[in-house]
Chains A and B, each alone.
Chain A
Amino acid sequence: MLFKKNNKKQRKVNNRIPFVGISFVGGFLFLVVFGNWIAPYDYEYWDMASMMLPPAWLDGGSMAHVLGTDALGRDVFSRLIHGSRFSLLIAVACIACYGTIGVIMGLLSGFMGGITDMVIMRLCDLWMSMPAIILAIILVSLMGPSALTVIIVVGIAGWPGYARIVRGECLSIKQNDFIRLARVAGCSNFRIMFSHVFPNIANTLIVLVTLNIGQMIILTATLSFLGLGTQPPSPDWGLMMNEGRQYINSAWWLVVFPGVAILMAVLGFNIVGDWLREILDPKQKLR
């Protein structure tokens, strides 16, 4: 039959594990854990004698500094490797911070309904109508720029998004008869929320977190780029791009390599997130 061949091909594509995504994320996590042993130099090590060296494959480059050096003679490759840990730590801390607030608020809102729901949702609206960057500028002027400020800013700015998604999931799970039966059995609201509703939204949360890590990396990089986040000499990728910006005509590698690093990490997490969404879907499992 004519349509037979095409079908088989399509089937294979659908079930394929995303090697690109996984290898990006895997590589990223590998650097986070083993970066100390791989990086040839410390991220603060500077050597005025070898400043502004181009990458190894260009004229004047040397194998001692594979991706070149910056204006202070620091090794770009080493700083990128150390930077991975910074980026991930900040991203995870942010997500842990607002994820927890968001999930609790969302569960309360979706499950209790009524006045509780209305108050929390209006609070969300209010929060979301405040631009994160302006909030960041205010907070930074109050607390001074630092990694902690970034975590707090991003953390409190992001919870409404989680709360809304959790609330939506919660509302649809609430429709199930097992929630009614849990009440009939005498379960408390607390027990129903955390023992019945939460496990059923865990999948969604895993996917959400994976997709969000990418966004967080970009957001923290943006804040660092604007000078509102981590401060020198931290090897944050956004900060590195900011520092390299002024030399973009003479030393493009200072901007391009951190940019590529951000791109690969974010792309990797997004692909893995999409893939997780597919395989964690219980409907998919039944197939």
Chain B
Amino acid sequence: MNNQGGIQVKNLTKHFPITSGVIFSRTIGVVKAVERLSFSIERGKTFGLVGESGCGKSTTVNMILGLEKPTSGDIYIDGENIIGLKRKKIFDLRRKIQAVFQDPFRSLNPRKKVKQIISEPLLVHKIGTKKQRHERVLELMDLVGLKPDAADHYPHEFSGGQRQRIAIARALSLNPEMIILDEPVSALDVSIQAQIINLLVDIQQKLKVTYIVISHDLAVVEHISDKIGVMYLGQLVELASVKDLYNNPLHPYTQALLASVPIADPENIRESVLEGEIPSPLNPPSGCYFHPRCNKMQPECKKGKKVLHESSPGHFTSCPLFA
């Protein structure tokens, strides 16, 4: 891994203790929300993270955003480890990573005007004079395709797509190096989704910003990502370039995921390959976590810890069949 720009995540782990009792609480178990997650992405590229709900995507996002402290592991941004830094340093680093969340109706403060929403990060970081900030707001609004007269309105006067544009403008206000897109279009209407996806792609080309996209919509992730990681029960089971992953998925879970996505084509009726549901992360299966649902299960799948290994150049999987 080179340390030039972008982000490197190494062995990121988050365990949530399960406690019992109120005053004299003791730990009775542990949920391994994220386990030894490692990936890297270069500056200006997009990393996609896919998986079903409860697979640890959100916890990963929270850790990268600094909202949650990892149990162990490191996150390097521009070669600098952001884990375990002092408060002041973290405050400065926050400028580099911003986020856009799924629901544009809940990610904007309904009591603030659009210009206040977009300029707040600048205000908090004490950047520029009032006038300069106002100019920056107008510049950003132009960038995301909002009319300047929108600045004095409140969020509830806008549709979902427009609100998501406001959220993107805010995320861009500090000139971040990386933006985390957590389900950026899944709450939007079909005809608006394409607008926002195109906008995100344009912005990346213009500003060379790195994206991490979290989504359950595999088609959207495929469309905007360069590299994709597939998560299952807190672990990465496959990591590959977008081309390799979609053309030649190795892990049976990835294969099942790709095969069961409903497709907008009546000639191509999907059969659900995946039976059953995700096991509880409190008590995961032994060996490969996926083995109880896997249709290619071998005896060795039930034993030992399965870690990512490179099966072909740049294509990693944790499936023991490709060891």
Contacts and interface: CB of A to CB of B under 8 A. Distances in A.
Q: Is there direct touching of A and B in the complex, by C-beta distance under 8 Å?
A: yes
Interface of A: 175-178, 180-188, 191, 196, 199-200, 202, 282, 285-286
B107 interface: yes
A13 B98 CA distance: 48
B130 interface: no
A185 B106 contact: no
B99 interface: yes
Contact of A185 (B111, B112, B121, B156): B121
A180 B156 contact: no
Contacts, number: 64
Contacts of A180: 65, 67, 99, 101, 107
Interface of chain B, main secondary structure: loop
A178 B65 contact: no
Contact of B98 (A176, A184, A202): A184
Interface stretch (B3-11, B26-34, B89-97, B312-320): B89-97
Contacts of B167: 181
A184 B108 contact: no
Q: Which has the most chain A C-beta neighbours within 10 Å: B65, B98, B109?
A: B109
A103 to B, nearest CB: 16
A177 B110 contact: no
Nearest to A183: B67
Nearest to B174: A185
Smallest CB-CB A-B distances: 7 pairs: A177-B107, A199-B111, A185-B121, A177-B101, A186-B94, A178-B109, A176-B106
B124 A185 contact: yes
A175 B103 CA distance: 12
A186 B67 contact: no
B217 to A, nearest CB: 19
A175 B97 CA distance: 21
Contacts of A183: 65-67
Contacts of B106: 175-178
Contacts of A188: 124
B120 interface: yes
Given A180-B67, A181-B99, A200 B120 contact: no
A188 B126 CA distance: 13
Contacts of B110: 200, 282
18 contacts: A176-B109, A177-B101, A177-B107, A181-B99, A183-B65, A184-B66, A184-B97, A185-B120, A185-B170, A186-B95, A186-B121, A187-B120, A188-B124, A196-B109, A199-B112, A282-B156, A285-B156, A286-B156
A200 B124 contact: no
Given A185-B94, A185-B121, A200 B156 contact: no
A112 to B, nearest CB: 15
Contacts of B174: 185
Given A177-B102, A180-B101, A282-B156, 7 more contacts: A177-B103, A177-B106, A180-B107, A181-B99, A181-B167, A191-B124, A196-B109
A208 B142 CA distance: 42
B125 interface: yes
Nearest to A285: B156
A183 B101 CA distance: 13
Contacts of A187: 120, 124
Nearest to B23: A118
Interface string B227-251: 0000000000000000000000000
Nearest to B110: A282
Interface in B130-177: 156, 167, 170, 174
